Structure 1
Amino acid sequence: MKRSYHYTECGLSNIYLQNGFRYKETPRGKAVSINNIDGLHTAIGLALVTTKRKLSGEEIRFLRHEMLISQSTLASLLGSTEQTVHRWERGKTNIPKPSEILLRLLYREHVSDQNGKIVKTLRKIANLEEKINDESIHFKDIDGEWQTAV
């Protein structure tokens, strides 16, 4: 019986392949060749986002990497900061439940044909928040009395 392969190269410490891989000799020594690695990564991601348990830091990092987005971009989409995402990925703090749910939805959207509807909606919300937070109030002096300028 073929031994399973501990697939740590994906950045996760708990992934084992029962088949779909083979060992081969290279000029640098023994190496592993994995069939359909993109499909494998999609399967891993979907398994992570459908599990009922809380995502670990390395799982959060895996999902972000698979979506090809930076910590800064993920932070923006989740209404957080880059430093906070960094801390989640390092296991220093737990990801809040609403952010975790959004991350799971973002990944599912990434691997589906939803054309970025969730991302577009989150970006619209972020832009609205910026407008609200950055809205300046202007005043003008009219005959010695200050009034808001329209």
Structure 2
Amino acid sequence: MSYHYTESGLDNVWLEDGYIIENHPSYGELISFKNVRGLHEAIGRWLVAQPRTLNGAEFRFLRVELDLSQKSLGAILGVTEQAVAKWEKGRDKAVANKSAERLLRLAYINYLDGNTEFSAIINRITKLDAEIAEHELRLRKEQDGWHKIAA
């Protein structure tokens, strides 16, 4: 008997074994899973290897496995938190930003493989983007002349 593993947030994962279903007199059916970390790693590696664009649910799965908020991932990808949320809401739709989707795949696989250099590069890019934003000069024309405004 297979178990439909919707606890992952994905609709297409079925377990052939590695789980136990017990009936408790007070709580009803209880399900426990063996090695959830390994299970999620297997799901993540399968997703990363797919030759198609990830959908919103798959994108969210990888983000959650990286323990990143939508805001944090947006900062890494150079997009807004709202953009990440929009992609994830399209559960069954392909993520519109293919570059962001590919970078998430790279980040995930490098995280699993313990590649600290990749993480350092991502952190440096994020820091550089913040520094560039601080060096922008934004001006507004008002009646009494040009004035600097906040970026």
- TM score, norm. by length of structure 2: 0.81
Identity %, equivalent residues: 40
1:93, 1:51 → 2: CA distance?
A: 12
Q: Show CA shifts across 1:3-45 (max 9, x none).
A: 1100001111111001111211223011112111110011001
Aligned length: 134
Q: Shift of the alpha carbon at 1:119?
A: 2.6
* Structure 1 pair 39–128 and aligned structure 2 pair: CA distance change class (3 A): same
Preserved contact between residue 77 and residue 119 of structure 1 (Cα < 8 Å): no
The one of 8, 15, 23 equivalent to 2:6 is 8
* Structure 1 pair 136–37 and aligned structure 2 pair: CA distance change class (3 A): closer
RMSD (Å) for aligned C-alpha atoms: 1.7
2:76, 2:21 → 1: CA distance?
A: 40
* Structure 1 pair 22–93 and aligned structure 2 pair: CA distance change class (3 A): closer
Structure 2 residue matching 1:54: 3-state secondary structure:
coil
Are 2:92 and 1:94 aligned?
no
Preserved contact between residue 75 and residue 126 of structure 2 (Cα < 8 Å): yes
**1:114 paired residue number:** 115
* Structure 1 pair 34–93 and aligned structure 2 pair: CA distance change class (3 A): closer
**2:41 paired residue number:** 42
1:14, 1:108 → 2: CA distance?
A: 21
User: Which structure has the larger Rg?
Assistant: 1
1:96, 1:136 → 2: CA distance?
A: 26
Q: Shift of the alpha carbon at 1:121?
A: 1.0
Bigger mean CA offset, 76-85 vs 24-33: 24-33
Structure 2 residue matching 1:113: 3-state secondary structure:
coil
Q: Shift of the alpha carbon at 1:126?
A: 2.5
2:50, 2:120 → 1: CA distance?
A: 25
- TM score, norm. by length of structure 1: 0.82
Q: Show CA shifts across 1:96-115 (max 9, x none).
A: 12111110011112211212
2:100, 2:76 → 1: CA distance?
A: 9
What are structure 1's unaligned runs of at least 5 residues?
A: 138-150
AA matched with 2:131: K
**2:135 paired residue number:** 135
What are structure 2's unaligned runs of at least 5 residues?
A: 138-151
